[in-house]
A and B are shown apart, each in its own frame.
Chain A
Amino acid sequence: MDFSFTEEQTLLRNTVERFVLDNYEFETRRQMTATEEGRNPANWAQLAELGILAAPFSEDHGGLGYGATETMVVMEELGKGLVVDPYFPSIVLGGGLLRHGGGAIADEVIPQVAMGEDILAFAYAEPKGRFNLADLETTAKADGGDYVINGHKAVVIGAPFATKLLVSTRTSGGVRDADGVTVFVVDAKADGVSIRSYPTVDGLRAGEVYFENVKVPANNIVGELDNGLPLIEQVADEAIAALSAEATGAMKVLTDATVEYSKTRVQFGQAIGKFQVLQHRMADMFMAHEQSTSMTYMVTMKLDEDAKTRGMAASAAKVQIGKAGREVGQSAVQIHGGMGMTDELNVGHYFKRLTMIDAQFGNVDYHLKRYATLSKS
């Protein structure tokens, strides 16, 4: 039993930490997210140069061959900086689908992704699908050796930056059937693809992605035809582990900032941190962060186990960070008083990100249900 990190992992952490310190000073981030583009492409180039984008890919694909623990380390540090570069959509989601899907398409695309040349986004959610990954009205119909995709994907994070989209479609069966789901790679500039871009409340960029008779060759199938759901679920569980790490990083910043603030803010002749009711609330924040760290480690270590074990671990972690994120976020704002409400202070921004993380890949309710269902299976 040992939860310590290797020297290499610590080095990786320091590298990302440095990147955040250099590029994500709060004011810099605020200005960057307010621009039309919503990010600074130079940051992406730097992440590529540092090898961060290549981390989880195999050496054959130009990667560093790192595993889930390294992704966790990277995501936690990115979470501390509220980083808006599309590491999560491109490397964790898109990269994850290609890594596990394998085949010629992975050989072709991954090296570009690892170098930061291609940016990926995963178009999976649909307007009526809520969190059900199989609830798909987007279809791909065979047409000679090609497929023709039609549909509308909702709030695709990172879509405005993407050069290539991964899209979940229904190739057979009915809406919500587990079978008949297929993932394709589609060029973001392909005929028939249109993206309506917008900022999100947590400072990211997303888009509505519309597919209108978009023709793609069968070679663009990621994983197996009609058997895409297990692949998507695996990547979704990895995504949850990554989001847990990100959330844990954000909670750490909020807890520290709140404790610090409570020591310096004086009301009624004393630091507000002296009021016991606030002390207890901060003790709860501290515990929420620690428990979230534990669950993040837990899920990260179980990602390679069988689908049931992995799924339960991911759902458990998502429940923990959903609840803890809300508690820590709300408490941080409350204890900062009026200051916590402002756009000028970082507190509100972390709170907003934590709020949105809860709705990514299923919220607390969804994962409680999933956990209960899996545990009976």
Chain B
Amino acid sequence: MDTSFSPDELAFRDEVRAFIAENYPEDIKAKMEAGVELNKEETLRWHGILAKKGWVAPGWPEEWGGTDWTPGQKFLFDQACAEAGTPGVLPFGISMVAPVIYTFGSDEQKQQHLPPIYNGDLWWCQGYSEPGSGSDLASLKTKAVRDGDDYIVNGSKTWTTLAQHADWIFCLVKTDTNVKAQEGISFLLIDMKTPGITVRPIITMDGGHEVNEVFLEDVRVPVANRIGEENKGWTYAKFLLTHERTGIAGVARSKKGLARLKEIAKAEYIDGRPLFEDQDFSRKIAELEIDLTALEYTDLRVLSELRKGNHPGPESSILKIKGTEIQQRLTELTLEAVGTYAAPFYRGLDDRWNEFPVGPDYAVGSAPKYFNMRKTSIYGGSNEIQRNIIAKAVLGL
């Protein structure tokens, strides 16, 4: 039993910290600290900074730009980024479609797609969910029919995160409707500029434009854009779901959020004293911190298994459930700490976020953030589905 990292690992962490201190742009930092969503340019700028350093895709094979870091180093890297409050690298390209491409894709596909994903030249989105198929993903209806060297794709995808910026979409489509649902699915890479694709925004209750509907009408996709074999798409999709599960607990980010909550509680007053000194409120913070400590040590136990070369099984559902519950609780307590000034709504927060707010800076976005974070128990396999997984796959019920 030993929870410490080796001197080498700690030296590595210092190196990461120093790099961030020197290269993290002030304007992006200010926006992140205010809890405001970044725009496309800002997201890509940070991606570019990491890419240039060679740190944007640590998990990839080295020949494509991976770092050969140990699981411990990856963990420490994520931790250092979270501590500094840097934006996360968008997962859709780097940690979702790329592992599928380098594991199951053809050489041409690797050549064509991995470098632009690495450099952030092309933006990817994930086209899995459909209006009728959310938790029950395998029931998806979007159809791809062979026509010579092409597939003709028809159907609609929904909740597609940031599709409004996307150059490419990776989709699960039905290629055989006569077999068990999971056995008739294929995995296609589709250029968003292909005729027949339309994107319609879905505004979420916090006022943000994060998700979209994507309609596909007679969209021609070269068979060459299929990953691996026809009707094997479900296997690749499942691989993707179990890949890169490290980091889903979001411990370091929640720690950062907790520190911010404490700062807010120190700045807010209750009966002339800082809210932070209020017994009731400080107990709530303590409780959250204790929950977070439990998660941190669970996360470290998973990490220690990874370092031994063992892959975490369905137990990693714990990380998703507890991680998101803590993130949600954090935004709930932040909203509570902010008090009165949580109410003002800033329309078009993205471009106008720093128009002088009516209350303190930290109040801006506290309510929208709370509303928005309700998504975390819905997506990525809802928390009900995760509990089903624990019940069935772990407990054998």
Contact = CB atoms under 8 A, between A and B. Distances in A.
Interface string B337-379: 0011111111100000000001100000001101110110111
Contact of B205 (A127, A349, A356, A365): A349
A154 B205 contact: no
Nearest to B138: A268
A135 B340 contact: no
B384 interface: yes
Contact of A199 (B134, B139, B347): B347
Contacts of B372: 341
Nearest to A204: B343
A202 B340 CA distance: 13
B8 interface: no
A15 B211 CA distance: 40
Nearest to B207: A343
B340 A154 contact: yes
B335 A355 contact: yes
- Most chain A beta-carbon neighbours within 10 Å: one of B159, B275, B345, B370: B345
Interface string A317-338: 0000000001000100110011
Interface string B195-206: 000000011110
Contacts of A268: 135-136, 139
B156 interface: no
A196 B384 CA distance: 44
Interface residues of A, number: 49
A356 B134 contact: no
A201 B343 contact: yes
Contact of B343 (A128, A155, A275, A338): A155
A198 interface: yes
A196 B358 contact: yes
Nearest to A345: B205
Contacts of B133: 267
Sort chain B's interface into a size bin. 35 or more
Given A135-B271, A363-B336, A201 B345 contact: yes
A154 B359 contact: yes
B159 A198 contact: no
A358 to B, nearest CB: 8
A278 B384 contact: yes
Contact of A342 (B203, B340, B370, B383): B203
A127 B359 CA distance: 8
A330 B373 CA distance: 11
Nearest to B356: A196
Given A201-B343, A334-B377, A267 B134 contact: yes
Given A130-B269, A338-B378, 6 more contacts: A155-B344, A176-B272, A198-B344, A277-B387, A338-B134, A365-B281
Interface of B: 129, 132-136, 139, 158-159, 202-205, 207, 211, 268-272, 275, 280-281, 332, 335-336, 339-347, 358-359, 367-368, 370-372, 374-375, 377-379, 382-384, 387
Interface of A: 125, 127-132, 135, 154-155, 175-176, 196, 198-202, 206, 208, 266-269, 275, 277-278, 326, 330, 333-334, 337-338, 340-344, 348-349, 351-352, 355-356, 359, 363, 365, 368-369
10 contacts: A125-B340, A154-B340, A155-B343, A175-B272, A201-B371, A202-B343, A268-B139, A338-B159, A342-B203, A355-B335
